[in-house]
């Protein structure tokens, strides 16, 4: 059986994602599509707009056979950590034959050449990279400058976010010596360019007040033309980073400044800046914007704050199991995975030792609390909740 995997966030699902899923089927001639999706927090260091169960249902209604959860430590990592964590899981599942990723420049040969170069990490590149970092450049800027000196055409691939992820997927596949075949799908057509960023902006522009829900008609207008017809009922609310301000400030005040450097992505310099700008009237987003510098991008700072909040330490390992978030009853993909997987696929964390899934349950509990405090909506208990099952 041929199983094609997609690594996604669906924050939230939109017409471009539907295009990606449909074209992935055509490109690989696959029997089944398996989605590996970020949970309640995403790679920009922010909470997902809506919870993972609703986003899993979006994927199922679009035609995915099954949806698995990318663990929170990988889902909120840098592009390299995100890609390595995701590809490692797909490799361990044993049954995945193909990976289709979206990118701005469909140049698989160029992507592979750049990935090989970065994996080999030659001395000349390493020296140029370190020189850029010493001058105060952010890592992405320093890497671009170092690659530019090697091959300008290749450096252009590092100027677009999905190209960067594509390179990281190829690096991870090479490091793992995985037999999974990567396929580049170029973003093309108006539907694909109507991205999740635009969708989120529309929702924010017409966002509800803290006192209550945005009227259904206003939300429908924000979504019009950007999402499939099945999506609006699955987006009944949205959550923002500032909804996590209170627990974040509590964590920051409870920790000694020297303790902050133990968390993922937090350097001593960054810890000092967080402490410098910490005050009771801060919000998550305002604190992140004040802490950022040319060397520490806003996304990097948001990830560090999120890691402090969720107690994600440097070197956090992947959990020894992968969580099933959703399944179509008419699919064979899960049965194929279970026959070959090196890691268990669990329907709920009650089936697995609690100490091995503490980070996942902690992240879900924080998100669950925020949704309850903001919306009065009680999400499923992470420990006992099962996957979304779609009958169709």
Q: What is the pLDDT of residues 238-283, one digit of tens each?
A: 999 999 999 999 999 999 989 999 999 999 999 999 999 999 999 9
For residue 17, being part of any structural domain is answered with yes
For residue 170, being part of any structural domain is answered with no
Token reading at 206: 């017409």
Same domain for 223 and 246, yes or no, is: no
The kind and range of the H/E element at 141 are helix 139-150
For residue 287, being part of any structural domain is answered with yes
**272: domain range?**
242-310
Same domain for 220 and 265, yes or no, is: no
For residue 274, being part of any structural domain is answered with yes
For residue 69, being part of any structural domain is answered with yes
- pLDDT for the residue numbered 41: 98
Same domain for 249 and 304, yes or no, is: yes
Neighbours of 29 (CB within 10 A): 9
Backbone angles phi, psi at 345, to 5 degrees: -105, 115
Query: Across residues 93-104, what is the average pLDDT?
Result: 95
Same domain for 93 and 32, yes or no, is: yes
Write out pLDDT tens, residues 296-339: 999 999 999 999 999 999 888 888 889 999 999 989 999 999 99
- pLDDT for the residue numbered 208: 47
> Which one of 292, 310, 328 terminates a domain?
310
> Which one of 310, 328, 346 terminates a domain?
310
Which CATH number is 69's domain given? 3.40.50
Higher pLDDT, 5 or 360: 5
Strands (E), 71-190: 98-103, 181-186
Cβ atoms of 13 and 227 closer than 8 Å: yes
Same domain for 292 and 379, yes or no, is: no
Rounded to whole angstroms, the Cα distance separating 160 from 378 reads 38
What is the bridge-based pairing of β-strands 3-8 and 66-70?
unpaired
Same domain for 352 and 219, yes or no, is: yes
Domain tally for the chain? 2
Rounded to whole angstroms, the Cα distance separating 231 from 234 reads 5
Rounded to whole angstroms, the Cα distance separating 95 from 110 reads 27
> Which one of 262, 293, 310 terminates a domain?
310
Same domain for 97 and 246, yes or no, is: no
Token reading at 263: 């968390």
For residue 216, being part of any structural domain is answered with yes
Query: Across residues 51-80, what is the average pLDDT?
Result: 96
Same domain for 91 and 20, yes or no, is: yes
Write out pLDDT tens, residues 330-377: 899 999 999 999 999 998 877 777 766 788 888 999 999 999 998 899
What is the bridge-based pairing of β-strands 66-70 and 181-186?
unpaired
DSSP 356: G
User: What three-state secondary structure class fits 313?
Assistant: strand
For residue 276, being part of any structural domain is answered with yes
Same domain for 250 and 372, yes or no, is: no
Instruction: Using CB atoms within 10 Å of the CB of residue 317, give its burial: 0 to 12 exposed, 13 to 18 middle, 19+ buried.
Output: exposed
- pLDDT for the residue numbered 172: 98
Of 261, 298, 253, whose CA–CA distance to 280 is shortest? Answer: 253
Query: Across residues 108-131, what is the average pLDDT?
Result: 92
pTM of the predicted model as reported, rounded to 2 decimal places: 0.93
Is pLDDT at 173 greater than 90 in this prediction? yes
**Helix pair angle (284-291, 245-254), 10° resolution:** 60
- pLDDT for the residue numbered 218: 64
Backbone angles phi, psi at 338, to 5 degrees: -65, -25
Same domain for 223 and 75, yes or no, is: yes
Same domain for 285 and 252, yes or no, is: yes
- pLDDT for the residue numbered 202: 77
Residue 292 CB contacts under 8 Å (≥ 6 apart), including other chains: 298, 300, 301
Same domain for 86 and 215, yes or no, is: yes
Write out pLDDT tens, residues 276-296: 999 999 999 999 999 999 999
Rounded to whole angstroms, the Cα distance separating 68 from 389 reads 13
For residue 174, being part of any structural domain is answered with no
């Amino acid at each position: 059986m041929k199983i094609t995997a997609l690594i996604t966030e669906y924050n939230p699902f939109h017409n471009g994602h539907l295009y990606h899923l449909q074209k992935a089927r055509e490109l690989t001639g696959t029997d089944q599509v398996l989605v590996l999706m970020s949970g309640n927090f995403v790679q920009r260091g922010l909470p997902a707009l809506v919870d993972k169960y609703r986003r899993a249902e979006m994927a199922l209604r679009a035609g995915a056979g099954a949806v698995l959860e990318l663990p929170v430590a990988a889902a909120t990592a840098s592009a390299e950590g995100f890609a390595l964590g995701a590809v490692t899981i797909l490799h361990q599942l044993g049954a995945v034959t193909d990976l289709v990723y979206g990118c701005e420049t469909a140049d698989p040969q160029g992507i592979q050449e750049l990935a090989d170069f970065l994996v080999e990490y030659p001395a000349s590149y390493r020296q140029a990279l370190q020189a850029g970092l010493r001058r105060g450049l952010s890592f992405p800027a320093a890497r671009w400058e170092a690659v530019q000196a090697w091959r300008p055409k290749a450096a252009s691939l590092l100027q677009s976010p999905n190209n960067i992820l594509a390179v990281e997927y190829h690096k991870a596949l090479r490091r793992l010596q995985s037999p999974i075949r990567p396929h580049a799908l170029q973003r093309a057509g108006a539907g694909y360019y109507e991205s999740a960023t635009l969708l989120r902006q529309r929702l924010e522009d017409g966002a509800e007040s803290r006192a209550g829900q945005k009227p259904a008609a206003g939300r429908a207008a924000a979504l019009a033309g950007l999402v499939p017809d099945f999506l609006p009922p699955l987006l009944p609310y949205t959550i923002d980073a500032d909804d996590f301000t209170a627990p974040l400030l509590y964590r920051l005040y409870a920790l000694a400044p020297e303790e902050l450097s133990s968390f993922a992505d937090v350097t001593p310099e960054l810890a000092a800046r967080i402490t410098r700008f910490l005050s009771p009237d801060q919000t998550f987003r305002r604190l992140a914007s004040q802490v950022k510098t040319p060397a520490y991008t806003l996304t990097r700072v948001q990830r560090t704050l999120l890691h402090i909040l969720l107690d994600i330490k440097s070197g956090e390992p992947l959990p020894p199991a992968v969580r099933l978030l959703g399944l179509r009853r008419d699919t064979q993909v899960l049965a194929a995975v279970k026959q070959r997987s090196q890691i268990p696929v669990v329907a709920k964390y009650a089936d697995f030792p609690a100490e091995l899934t503490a980070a996942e349950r902690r992240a879900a509990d924080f998100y669950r609390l925020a949704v309850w405090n903001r919306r009065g909506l009680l999400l499923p208990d992470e420990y006992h909740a099962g996957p979304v099952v779609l009958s169709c």
